[in-house]
Structure formats: structure tokens, C-alpha cells
Structure 1
Amino acid sequence: MSSTIDHAKCVLVIGATSGIGRHLALALANLPSRPTVIAAGRRVERLKELETTNGLKTAQIDVAADGKVLKETVDGLIAQYPDLDAVVIASGIQYQFDFLKPETINLDNVAREFNVNYIAVVTLISLFMPHFLKLSEQGRPSFVIPITSGLALMPFPTVPNYSASKAALRSFSISLRDQLKDTKVKVIEILPPLVESELHDEQGTTPMLSKFWMPLDEYTEKTMAGLRKGDEQVAVGTADVVLKRFKGLDTSFQTALTFGDK
């Protein structure tokens, strides 16, 4: 029987102070297996609320920090929680860019968005990998769970860099899963549709998008069902519709090499 999130003993959710990350952290803590859940993020007051009100463990993490700081943070977490066997990376930022008005393009935001949504995630996964591979050698399963987006499959024009960053993370996740196929480290990609989120508040798009987005409670329930089922790609709503269009594509490297020979 394949391992599912129900087998996890200790789950770290990075980006747990709001939105999808917060709701998943709370749902994971309520699994019948009762894993230890560590909610991580930047906002201290929200972490304190998760700890005092909801009984979660907490850790302050800024994914935009440099690699040295992230390594110290990861090493400290592993030392404090040696049973840590799952990491959900839900942190992310989103900006709008209009290249019809190139004078408005903030290149610092382009770099920051790609760093938070992709480079930081890859960095964190690489830092946790020695620990997870050690668990694999001991016969224990572990779980790497990056959150991409339905926009990784079908980009939205007003958020081109966000869409590209999520597409990069999806591509990385597919490659990582193939590299780890002979280990007990399981890579699970979560692909949300448009979901109720504070992500859109700064852009002023919440009033418009709230007419179309999936409520967080509904999204969380459906995503948890996929995680408990053991799906390697957990997509719901419109993201699931788009993903199904790709189901016939073989993402194996043998097929890629075959295509390359033509």
C-alpha cells in the first residue's frame, strides 16, 4: 500500500500564517493519526495565535532569507523535531505586470516573486533532502509537498511572472519525483485553482475575484481528500479540469528523449 499523508508523524507547513497554508496546517493537525504540526511563517502575531488558540507548534521562517539563514533554520528544526517527515511549502507572493506599460515594470518585484515562489522553494527542499533520504534508508516514508498552481498549466496574462514561477516549480517537482522514485521520499504537488486568499488584497483584485474563487473551507476539504488518497498531483476545481487535459501526456524522461530525437 502506498504511503499517504496519514503516515506522517511530524508535518512542517511553511507559509501557514494565512490562506491555504493556514487552513492546511489546521486540517493536518486534525487527521486521525494526530501528527505534530509545525506552522511556520514570518508574522509572529499570527504564529502566536496558531500556537495559543489552535495548539500548533510554530517556527518563524522568512523564505526570502539568504541560503545560510535558511540552512541554519532547517538544521535547527530537524534537531528540534527529529521525527519531521513532511514539509508543505505554501508560501508565495503575486504581482501584476503590464508590459504594454514597460515603465511600470518593477524588476525588483520580478526577481522577488521568482525567488519566493521558486528559488526559495528549491533551496528549502534541497536543505531538507539529506534528512529525508536518511529516513528513507531507515525504511520510513517522507513527503515533499510543494504548492504550485493551476496557472502553472494555463498562465493568466495579468500575472505572467507568477504563472512562470509556478510553471518552473511544477517542472522541478516532476523531475524531483523521477529522481526519487527508488526512495521512500514522496513528492506530492498541490495545484490550487483560484482560491479565497489574502494574496489578492494588495493588488486590489479581491472584490472582483471573490465572485469566482473557491472558498477556503471547500478547497481544504477537497485537497485533504487527495492527500489522504495518496495522489501525486492534488488538483481540485478548475485546476483539476486543466490538469486532466495533460493526463495523456507522458512526462517520463524516456518519452522526452524520444521526442527530442524526432
Structure 2
Amino acid sequence: MPSINDSKCILVIGATAGIGRALAVSLKALPSSPKVIVTGRRQERLDELAKQGFETIKVDIDTDRANLKKFVDNTVRKYPELDSIIFSAGIQHEFDFTKPEEVNVDYIVSELNTNYTGIVTMITYFLPHLLKVASKGQPAFIIPITSGLGIVPGPWVPCYCATKAALHSYSISLNEQLRDTGVHVIEILPPLVESELHDHQGRTPALSKVWMTLDEFTKQTVEGLKRGDSIVASGMAAQGFEKFEKGKAEFAHGAYMNHKKLTASS
């Protein structure tokens, strides 16, 4: 089974902090010594990573399709050896719909674009390159980072949960469609993890009492990536997956095979 050990060039989108940065550092240290490219919005953090030997690209994925297409085209042109992409960028907002007049709809749109629409758009634009790479015998990987909250929602962050549920569902379907192409989909399914994601909500002191440490999460996740697991879940997210999602991908496979038979005979 191909795994991240086979990667020669990895792009981590959203790597200036938290999960993305920790994964980028760990993957760069793999014995296979892949080239690791990191992206983010904060130039000063990109500069820090550049000093550690990373290739860096400044980009904000909460933008329109034209800018995302430009980013993808420029990246592929500069790094034709690119074979793996981790989608780590994400934002999270709390919303209280019992007070609808206080709900910021702009935040909802931004959350949807950053956590789902922008990712699917980039995957669509990157796929011609990845399919070409895979056709030459080099395994390629699309690695979305979803969330345990996409399986069991946290009502205080309802839109975040919905975006992650959408990305989780999309990942299952994408993996099925790409099954025989040499482009592999590996979904990273984190629990609550030590991260700056929650800082703007003022919840960090409380959450720090119950979250999984970033070091432990990174260790478990990299082990799963090295095994080539199609789902890399840890902590409470693994428990939620086991209880509510186990077998869904296999059922989706059967449904897809039946669909293909039906459409072929029509």
C-alpha cells in the first residue's frame, strides 16, 4: 500500500501554525527526505519556516476562484515534482442562532469558503497535475484534514461542523472515484487538538484542559500516514468514527459500483 513515505514533494496548505506546521516539520524529517513546501498568510511565520529549510508560498485561500487557480498554476509550474498535498487551512467561529441578529453572515461565508469550497476548488485545479504524476508511476496523495466535529457536531460551532462534515463526505466520494488512478485520498480526522484555532474565541484556557497535545496528535497522525491508512483518526475522533462511521466507505463503494453498472447498461 503506498504511503507518505513514497512522497518526494509535499505541499502543506495552512502551515504557519498548529497542526499544519507540526505535520510539515515531522514530514520534512522523514527518512525519505521529501521536499516540503508550506503556505500561509503570515509572512513573518513563513520567514521563520524558510530559515528551517522549507520552501514557502504566501497565500490566503479565502479568496475567489481566479486567485486560487493562479496559486495552483504557479505552484505546479514551480514544483513539477509535487505529488502530495495536505489541506490544513481552516477557521472556526462560534454562532448562537438564538440571537440571529448577532450572527455575522460574512463569517459563515468565510468559514464555508476556507474549510470546504476553497479546498474542493483547489483539489479540482490540482488534480490534472496529480493524475499526470500518478500515470507515470509516482504515487500521489490528496490529504484533507477534517474533524471529529464533522461526525459528532459541537452545536456551539455549527457552521464549522457542517463544513467538516461536508469535507468528510466529499473525501469518501473522491477516494472512491480516484480508486484506480494512483492518486490516493487520505483523510486526517483530528479530535480537539492543541491549536491557535481557538484563540480568537477566548476558549484556549478551558480547552487546554481537555485537548490532545499537538505532539501526541502529530505522532499518531504521521504513523497513520506512513502506514497509508485511508482514514487517520485519533483520540475522541477515532471513537466517534468507530461508533458512527465505520463501514460507510465500504457501503459507498458498493453503491458506486452499482451506480456504474446501472449507468453502463442504460
Q: TM-score range by the shorter chain?
A: over 0.9
Q: Corresponding residue for 2:262?
A: none
**Residue identity opposite 1:122 in structure 2:** V
Partner of 1:138: 136
The equivalences for 1:187-206 within 5 A come to: 187-206=185-204
Match of 1:29 in 2: 28
Q: List per-residue Cα deviations over 1:133-173 (Å, max 9, x = no partner).
A: 11122122100000000011100010000000000001111
Q: What's the Cα RMSD here?
A: 1.3
How many equivalent pairs are there? 256
Please list every run of 5 or more consecutive structure 2 residues that lacks an aligned counterpart in the other structure. Answer: 259-266
- Whole-Å separation in 2 of the counterparts to 1:65 and 1:31: 33
Give, in whole Å, the separation in 2 of the partners of 1:50 and 1:65: 24
Deviation string, structure 1 residues 79-115 (Cα, Å, up to 9, x no partner): 1111100000100000000111111111111111111
| More displaced stretch, 137-146 vs 6-15 | 137-146
1:210-221 equivalence runs, <5 A: 210-221=208-219
CA-CA distance at 1:132 after TM superposition: 0.6
2-structure distance, mates of 1:10, 1:248? 32
Q: Within 5 A, what are the aligned runs for 1:127-166? A: 127-166=125-164
Matched, 1:181 2:176: no
C-alpha displacement of 1:181: 0.6
Structure 1 34/216 Cα, relative in aligned 2: closer, same or farther at 3 Å? same
Q: Which residue of 2 aligns with 1:101?
A: 99
- What is the Cα deviation at residue 257 of structure 1? 9.3
Aligned to 1:4: 3
Following the alignment from structure 2 to structure 1, what is the Cα–Cα distance between the partners of residues 187 and 251? 14
Amino acid at match of 2:10: V
Identical amino acids, percent of aligned pairs: 52
Alpha-carbon separation, structure 2, partners of 1:111 and 1:104:
15
Shift of 1:57: 0.8
What is the 5 A alignment of 1:89-128? 89-128=87-126
Residues 238 and 67 (structure 1), Cα distance of their counterparts in 2 relative to 1, 3 Å cut: same
Q: Which residue of 2 aligns with 1:16?
A: 15
Q: Does residue 254 of structure 1 match 2:254? A: yes
What is the Cα deviation at residue 72 of structure 1?
1.2
Query: Normalized against structure 1, the TM-score is what?
Result: 0.95
Aligned structure 1 segments of 4 or more residues deviating by more than 4 angstroms: none
Which range moves more in the overlay, 131-140 or 202-211?
Answer: 131-140
Give the letter aligned to residue 193 of structure 2.
V
Give the 3 Å change call, closer, same or farther, for CA 159–79 of structure 1 in structure 2. same
**In 2, distance between residues paired with 1:214 and 1:125?**
29
Structure 1: gaps spanning 5 or more residues: none
Partners of 2:228 and 2:238 in 1: CA distance: 16
Report the equivalent of 1:42.
41
* Matched letter for residue 16 of structure 2: T
Query: TM-score scaled to structure 2, two decimals?
Result: 0.94
Shift of the alpha carbon at 1:73? Answer: 1.3
